Copies of this chain bind each other. A is one copy, B any other.
Amino acid sequence: MRTVDPYKVEARRQQILGAALTCFAQNGFHATRTAQICAAAGMSPGNLFHYFPSKAAIIAAIAEEDCKAMTRLFSQWDTAENVLDAVEHIALAMMQASSDPQQARISIEVAAEASRNPQMRALFAANDAQVKADLAALLRRGMAAGQIDPHLDPAMAAVWLVALTEGAIARVVLEADFQARAHQPMLRLIIRRFLCPPQPESG
């Protein structure tokens, strides 16, 4: 006899994480109390505790979900023939995600908390390192295929691709009318010009 339905468990977990993200975006990690997350999720503290024993466990699960989402994004482009297209699409998807107002606030909270809490930093730094490693691997493949400038340092180039997409975060906060979609052509142009092999000198 099955006593636990794994789909129901996962649905409940997602319900709690969604409620927690709303609370964190509104009040920050620090100021959010577990009771607020319970209220937002429509759940008793005992019930929530069954899924996540602490606020730290919720934050760890959020980092894990982030990591899974990035893995899914990269896996879509794993075997793409045109690596430049792949990098461009991944970067645009990252910029689009960063510029979601709730996501932007969460990113700022993550940065604020990570700058003070070594455990938080380790959690999100591991995700960041994975994204950079995946990007660098893509860049190396593009270099081997002659699609990306082979003189670039792939690890450093990956750092600045991430930095560029994260640039959207402050934009969302400081520009009332910031629309990620309107900026996609410019971001695409920057990435193309940055990564393309230089044209041979005209003669």
Give A contacts to B, CB under 8 Å: 28, 30-31, 104-105, 107-109, 111-112, 114-115, 121, 124-125, 128, 152-153, 156-157, 159-160, 162-164, 166-171, 173-176, 183, 186-187, 189-190, 193-194, 199-203
Chain copies in the assembled complex: 2
Known: A111-B173, A199-B202. A163 touches B160 (CB 8 A): no
Determine if B187 and A160 form an interchain contact, defined as CB atoms under 8 angstroms apart: yes
Contact of A174 (CB < 8 Å), options: B125, B153, B156: B125
| Most chain B C-beta atoms within 10 Å of own C-beta, residue among A108, A109, A128, A189 | A108
A186 to B163, CA, bound (A): 12
CB distance from A66 to the nearest CB of B (A): 13
A186 to B164, CA, bound (A): 13
Contact of A199 (CB < 8 Å), options: B115, B166, B187, B199: B199
Chain B residues with CB under 8 A of A202: 199-203
Determine if B173 and A160 form an interchain contact, defined as CB atoms under 8 angstroms apart: no
Chain B residues with CB under 8 A of A189: 152, 194
A169 to B128, CA, bound (A): 14
Q: List 13 A-B contacts (CB under 8 A).
A: A108-B115, A111-B173, A121-B173, A121-B174, A125-B175, A128-B170, A156-B183, A162-B167, A166-B170, A189-B194, A193-B194, A199-B201, A203-B203
CB distance from A113 to the nearest CB of B (A): 10
Name A125's closest neighbour in chain B (CB-CB): B174
Chain B residues with CB under 8 A of A190: 160, 190, 194
Determine if A160 and B174 form an interchain contact, defined as CB atoms under 8 angstroms apart: no
A168 to B124, CA, bound (A): 16
